[in-house]
Structure 1
């Protein structure tokens, strides 16, 4: 007999019912489950339990062939135990209608009662256990009599157990309805076996346990369904291999073959709707909506509900919604029953149903991708709309798939050029070679200069990405020559787009094009097109490292007459980039804040991510590490994998974490960040440098050098070797110093100083000087570091100032200038403490101790425990400014203000803003004038001590 596993609750319920019946408190139990879940085995166990208690067992197993034979089930139960006189009660062939009010006869109540009395006489000799299997196929008279009996069990020695198959296709009979309607009758619904239960089940069947992983594989294959596990066990036994030696690979093949044979037989024991629903789920892979499943399978909603319930109970589908096959083997077995043409028809029907049910274009399009094209216009429209949505997310690979499929439908001839154009633009980043072909096809025969102006820059970018930059320049020149003087605005936009296209792969080619076409001449910034061109020139000048003053000049002209509602967002983004790397941090912060506030939600996610990352970098340099981390994490959440600015965004998070002392988090992010670049985009260089900082912090110097070598190659190949962007030589110099190679270190640092002086921004020069100062000793180191500190004192880059002052203090102490060293180190410690940058704070503190000073420990509570930034924010809040106004005044985010105020309230032991004025007055912190605060320079939060950003 099939072993009983994980049926303890069911057996306990059966034992209770039998015990109650045999003690004179007759009752009934209903067992409901789909085919193959062990109902018959439970009834067999009930029979064994009854016989152990010396009860008489009366059994019936109904079948469809006897469903119309009057009294067929009752005869199975009672025939062997009735006298000749009692048999006369079952004579006659009158059919009795189900109790639904139909005309044509009434139940023979007198005969029902006589049979009941006969049964009572039998029960007086010995308690009775009536066991009815597959009751869904019982004839009407038998069902009605058993229902009649169930209502009269109280006080008699009779127990009734009825098993019925759910979703069998047979209508629900009066017997099941009667048992369900009586709450005192328990209902048992045996479930599929668990993984552990499957292992025990197969061990009992095979006589020996399988390996743990092999048993788990069998469980996944059969879904815990006992009938399917029987087929698997039989197939495993036929291999002749001892169960403990059966490998996973061998078991996988056995399960595949066994289920391909057994699963169709199991489904055929249910109603056709169950097989139809299973096939529909297989065709769609995943169904989240019951009406969709019903429409796809071609069945009504109640039948669909019964079908999925049966499939869930059988272990063939997980409990849903959504519904999907539990594993690949079941999918394969179900798919084998339907040819590909049938599956295609089901998917097409489902796509139409989704459209009718109001589903989104992406959901419909994903299903259409799995169907055969048929050229219907609505399909092309849905695929087109799905591509548009994917482009906004952005998800270029999905957009490309939808557009390629829309073209394969095929579309109407008038619709084809538009789809080709969109496909070509989408493929510029993914498959530039294919983009060239599609864009050229779209331009064939097109005379409209506006269309050419819109598409040629994308074609030029694709050409540049395939190594044909000269061809791209010639194409742009040709188009520029066709644009008349009366359409200068289009020409300015074309020039701007051309510069950006060439910057992507070959920045110096952009330089050459600008020079020979006189693009930069007489551009006043009086129109959106001119301002976009100026911003592009500012970005080009920045990436190629030519001159900070020139780049900032272009940026100023681009922003001077900016009208946010008319301007492309890239105008401000590129101008802000130039200002940031020219060390115009306050101006860059204003620009980014405007960008983040000007209908930011309308911008594509990649641009929003870039804006936030730029603002994070500015906050970092100005010493607001809390804002830097918050903004960069928000930016990272917006940057999907593969998006061109994602490496840049990731780098901002890593740098903020390192300078806050969260090195483990930084290392985790390094491990999970992308490991290989796409093209020559500059953002990869920034990420390589950030990963190098992480390795350097953990003393993995050779690994750090490998990352910096990759950074150097990226910048060299891209043609944008500007230390303001990534000072990789300074960082490499410090790593080489750690490794004892002082000569290489100094060569790198001096080579970078040449480039930084050519660029000309003070922070960039100070970074190179600081590196050289750290490589030097004695008075030379003091002189160089003093020059670096003097440059930084005049900038908002307080973060860099804190590190430079720490280096200078150590150099002064090394040359026995203790008094000066203490003064400098106290300033460095104040900056470090105010910022919360733990590594630098510790370094400055111990350096100050080494000079003989005794700096007081930071207080943890009270007014004197407030950092400088906390004091300023608290003073402004006490003066009546709200959080947003404080954030605007101090060029920080609102979240940063809230963060600091929370710490203020804790340190001052107050409940909130209402008590702030009193607490500050008691501590004698001066109330600040908001206007004066706007003029104040934000203080910095210094970074980790030994690396360069």
Structure 2
């Protein structure tokens, strides 16, 4: 495609030239062109494609196709599928199943995303690849998720992924990607462009008004004057009140379309509803409608559409104006014609979608076909598409029973797709029809689950109890799981729950206990709420021993706080490692952000803050790409230990406000605990004590003893000796019953801070010895810091230096800057000069490089490392070359020693 000169786009073209230069140099680039309709985004994409140094693939979102899974992605990848055999088998299978090329288990979005990333990398092996996605605001959900994921993972593949999206937009998935705004032309350029389409000279003031009203929008300048008479031009556009530019352009295109012959207008509708641009298919549909190919002539002469090897509209607004301005009867007729000519074996889902829109009323045959399409969508991992198919199938069902069943299935699909807001209306529709008792219980359970998703703190626990009671006589295992969800919701509400936890626990106690992990957790937590900590230990200990995250990924959310509650660092480490690894391997997108942040929390306390930060960043990326968010505990913890006061408060204070608004008491405890960590690290003990007091006023599962530890330290350092001693005794109630090394070490540290002076040194040494150094090295370092501070105050400076130096080095290596600075101040007070670490050394590995290096040292191949970290093998190789240079090694065999 030859490049053309674009008026007034010097800066934008320079940015695209830089992008192409990076591409030629072997670097990947991602860019979002964002601007209003008609701003010239598509023209800039055309320029980019014409100047590309290698192959180009293009796709576009289509408004009428937003519910068909992978519609845009498949169009983008189709020219590259000859590279499919070069992908690892799991990725090859995921992409084949996702695109409907093979049968298999439903692939999760992350595995498909990794496959697309690898496909792009393989396609770029012989030369730079340019991937262009126009009208991203109309991408189907699965294409959005995959392409955004890929965009955040491109690095060294020589791939450019460039989106064009409207602005303003509520588009979330592209948020955070590099953007280039595409705004209106300057007045001079706008006038010059306008002159090219005006029928003759006009008053200068009118020209200025037109330029001002269009705000330099190129398409508006070219299109709006067309068809306007001299009188209309004499008064500019003369309509009172502001009209959005997209609306004006739509009106202009609709006016031009209305002037075309009826058969030409119908042809444009058919072309608009057939988004692939398949010309033979279009001709076959028109033949069904009794329209000859010659009908295209007037539209082509008017410059609205080009029909060559493919159908191409003058602008996406022409497409939308074509079908939006059509009469309902015309739309149904065109949908019916398209459905008739689409091959039911090649594209059954698109055919079903057209048939659904062709139906004027209930049609059981079409509803059944849509239901089958939903099954195929689910088998490809397209939950959003399945939900849309099922919802339309319910609307077309004439029989109340299948209508109710389909509405319930649609609600469940929307929930699993992460769109709980659609659930209540569909459940209400399902309840109109006859439902058996099990289905009715399922309705109540799903309604409560959606309510909890939408608002963690209000009403969900009681609603889940109602559903669980219905399930008791129908499905006992499901009833236990629902009671466990209800108890989890009540514990999340915590202090703001008005007795919800006791209400749920009393109801759950009446259910026959189970010996599976869910049953044991329910029994133990019911006892924890109604009896006491000691009574809950037996079933909860057995539950943790039986819980394998690879088999019960859905129980990790409650298993991790139970491990905290029982001071079981081994279970905490095991469960989070299993969960993150399994969710990654299987690509379970719906839970991966939470699993990564759970694992990050364990790594923080193991002193591996850099790795934890990498996981938090990965979870944040996935959260923005899917709308699903991970647990906030690890991000809060990271900022608190780094001593980053302003960033930490900027994150925590809005969360605290939201927690009160939504009645999420557990989140309040989380914020209070991390504030106390932050201020203890900064040596501002009164503020730490003020934050810890409300945290420890209520026994939140898994948080209470953490908060109590911070309170004891802050109270001891603030001179509140009585409060510290009382805190140590409150803690003993739990630690003595738990009996683990972690519990014993925590209690020894509390006694050292708050107990009799004669026992202080002994207790400090016990704490340092008892705390598990591998999994709780951050806590060990804090114990050494506290011991060193005590030794200094006891005038034992030489011994103090040993402990403080150990603590300072550990905190510095971990990246716990707040506590490192505190240890440094104490060292200085002993008379030792502390050499502060400067900025990162040039040869220091980044967190991602560290992960890659460790995996390579363990014998993993580049494709295996890429699969674990969701990177292409070429990016892994690029990072390894940098690692070799930084560490001064030349082979993988030398990595282990260098690390």
TM range (shorter): 0.5 to 0.7
Q: Residues 351 and 610 (structure 1 numbering): CA distance in 2 closer, same or farther, change over 3 Å?
A: farther
| 1:840-919 to 2 correspondences below 5 Å | 841=820, 844-845=823-824, 848-849=827-828, 851-855=830-834, 881-882=858-859, 905-915=884-894
Instruction: Tell me, yes or no, if the aligned pair for 1:773 and 1:784 is still in contact at 8 Å.
Output: no
Equivalence for 1:279? 269
Equivalence for 1:403? 390
Provide the rounded CA distance (Å) in 2 between the counterparts of 1:217 and 1:865: 50
Q: Residues 210 and 458 (structure 1 numbering): CA distance in 2 closer, same or farther, change over 3 Å?
A: same
| 1:623-772 to 2 correspondences below 5 Å | 623-639=607-623, 646-649=628-631, 652-653=634-635, 656=638, 695-696=647-648, 705=653, 707-712=655-660, 714=662, 717-718=663-664, 720=666, 723=669, 726-728=670-672, 731=675, 746=689, 748-753=691-696, 755=698, 763-772=706-715
User: Can you list the C-alpha shifts for 1:804-841, whole angstroms capped at 9, x where unaligned?
Assistant: 75577668768876545533331222212322455654
- Corresponding residue to 2:194 among 182, 191, 199: 199
Shift of 1:343: 2.2
Tell me whether 1:326 sits opposite 2:321 in the alignment.
Answer: no
Tell me whether 1:557 sits opposite 2:516 in the alignment.
Answer: no
Equivalence for 2:801? 822
Q: Residues 462 and 634 (structure 1 numbering): CA distance in 2 closer, same or farther, change over 3 Å?
A: closer
Instruction: Tell me, yes or no, if the aligned pair for 1:536 and 1:571 is still in contact at 8 Å.
Output: no
SS in 2 for 1:533: helix
Instruction: Tell me, yes or no, if the aligned pair for 1:423 and 1:435 is still in contact at 8 Å.
Output: yes
Provide the rounded CA distance (Å) in 2 between the counterparts of 1:824 and 1:468: 49
Equivalence for 1:609? 593
Provide the rounded CA distance (Å) in 1 between the counterparts of 2:791 and 2:655: 33
Tell me whether 1:234 sits opposite 2:230 in the alignment.
Answer: yes
SS in 2 for 1:911: coil
Aligned residue pairs total 657
Provide the rounded CA distance (Å) in 2 between the counterparts of 1:304 and 1:810: 89
- Corresponding residue to 2:777 among 781, 784, 798: 798
Equivalence for 1:430? 421
Long gaps (5+) in structure 1: 8-193, 664-692, 926-949
Provide the rounded CA distance (Å) in 2 between the counterparts of 1:342 and 1:479: 49
Q: TM-score, normalised by structure 2?
A: 0.56
Provide the rounded CA distance (Å) in 2 between the counterparts of 1:739 and 1:875: 36
Instruction: Tell me, yes or no, if the aligned pair for 2:266 and 2:330 is still in contact at 8 Å.
Output: no
- Corresponding residue to 1:534 among 520, 524, 530: 520
Instruction: Tell me, yes or no, if the aligned pair for 1:364 and 1:382 is still in contact at 8 Å.
Output: no
- Corresponding residue to 2:338 among 330, 341, 350: 350
User: Can you list the C-alpha shifts for 1:497-544, whole angstroms capped at 9, x where unaligned?
Assistant: 664576677694353343355358764x2xxxx3222234567788x7
SS in 2 for 1:231: coil
Shift of 1:242: 11
Q: Residues 375 and 313 (structure 1 numbering): CA distance in 2 closer, same or farther, change over 3 Å?
A: same
Equivalence for 1:314? 303
Shift of 1:608: 3.2
Instruction: Tell me, yes or no, if the aligned pair for 1:538 and 1:552 is still in contact at 8 Å.
Output: yes
User: Can you list the C-alpha shifts for 1:381-440, whole angstroms capped at 9, x where unaligned?
Assistant: 454356567879999877655433212212555633421332454678436654664454
Instruction: Tell me, yes or no, if the aligned pair for 1:772 and 1:784 is still in contact at 8 Å.
Output: no
Q: Residues 634 and 845 (structure 1 numbering): CA distance in 2 closer, same or farther, change over 3 Å?
A: same
Provide the rounded CA distance (Å) in 2 between the counterparts of 1:596 and 1:303: 59
Shift of 1:794: 1.0
Q: Residues 492 and 746 (structure 1 numbering): CA distance in 2 closer, same or farther, change over 3 Å?
A: closer
Shift of 1:579: 1.3
Equivalence for 1:618? 602
Equivalence for 1:833? 812
Shift of 1:358: 3.0
Which of structures 1 and 2 has the bigger CA Rg? 1
Q: Residues 812 and 315 (structure 1 numbering): CA distance in 2 closer, same or farther, change over 3 Å?
A: farther
Shift of 1:778: 11
SS in 2 for 1:853: coil
Q: Residues 822 and 907 (structure 1 numbering): CA distance in 2 closer, same or farther, change over 3 Å?
A: farther
Instruction: Tell me, yes or no, if the aligned pair for 2:604 and 2:638 is still in contact at 8 Å.
Output: yes
SS in 1 for 2:890: coil
Provide the rounded CA distance (Å) in 1 between the counterparts of 2:686 and 2:253: 71
Instruction: Tell me, yes or no, if the aligned pair for 2:616 and 2:635 is still in contact at 8 Å.
Output: yes
Equivalence for 2:174? none
- Corresponding residue to 1:590 among 569, 574, 577: 574
Q: TM-score, normalised by structure 1?
A: 0.54
SS in 1 for 2:227: helix
Provide the rounded CA distance (Å) in 1 between the counterparts of 2:240 and 2:334: 39
Provide the rounded CA distance (Å) in 1 between the counterparts of 2:699 and 2:712: 10
RCO higher in structure (CA 8 A, sep ≥6): 2
Shift of 1:760: 8.7
| 1:516-531 to 2 correspondences below 5 Å | 518-519=509-510, 523=514, 525=515, 530-531=516-517
Shift of 1:909: 1.6
- Corresponding residue to 1:384 among 368, 371, 379: 371
Q: Residues 210 and 231 (structure 1 numbering): CA distance in 2 closer, same or farther, change over 3 Å?
A: farther
Provide the rounded CA distance (Å) in 1 between the counterparts of 2:256 and 2:616: 56
Q: Residues 898 and 711 (structure 1 numbering): CA distance in 2 closer, same or farther, change over 3 Å?
A: farther
Instruction: Tell me, yes or no, if the aligned pair for 2:279 and 2:307 is still in contact at 8 Å.
Output: no
Q: Residues 532 and 389 (structure 1 numbering): CA distance in 2 closer, same or farther, change over 3 Å?
A: farther
Shift of 1:280: 2.5
Equivalence for 1:145? none
Provide the rounded CA distance (Å) in 2 between the counterparts of 1:326 and 1:877: 49
SS in 1 for 2:591: helix
Instruction: Tell me, yes or no, if the aligned pair for 2:797 and 2:830 is still in contact at 8 Å.
Output: yes
SS in 1 for 2:630: helix
Equivalence for 1:43? none
Provide the rounded CA distance (Å) in 2 between the counterparts of 1:639 and 1:616: 15
Instruction: Tell me, yes or no, if the aligned pair for 1:769 and 1:784 is still in contact at 8 Å.
Output: yes
Pairwise CA RMSD: 6.1
Provide the rounded CA distance (Å) in 2 between the counterparts of 1:712 and 1:817: 47
Long gaps (5+) in structure 2: 8-188, 726-748, 755-763
Instruction: Tell me, yes or no, if the aligned pair for 1:812 and 1:818 is still in contact at 8 Å.
Output: yes
Shift of 1:624: 1.9
Equivalence for 1:140? none
Q: Residues 331 and 806 (structure 1 numbering): CA distance in 2 closer, same or farther, change over 3 Å?
A: same
Shift of 1:881: 4.8
Shift of 1:619: 1.7
Shift of 1:344: 2.9
Q: Residues 242 and 383 (structure 1 numbering): CA distance in 2 closer, same or farther, change over 3 Å?
A: closer
Q: Residues 581 and 849 (structure 1 numbering): CA distance in 2 closer, same or farther, change over 3 Å?
A: same
User: Can you list the C-alpha shifts for 1:318-343, whole angstroms capped at 9, x where unaligned?
Assistant: 9997845626478547855x423212
Shift of 1:587: 1.7
Bigger CA drift: 608-617 or 818-827? 818-827
Provide the rounded CA distance (Å) in 2 between the counterparts of 1:776 and 1:321: 80
Instruction: Tell me, yes or no, if the aligned pair for 1:281 and 1:325 is still in contact at 8 Å.
Output: no
Equivalence for 1:214? 213
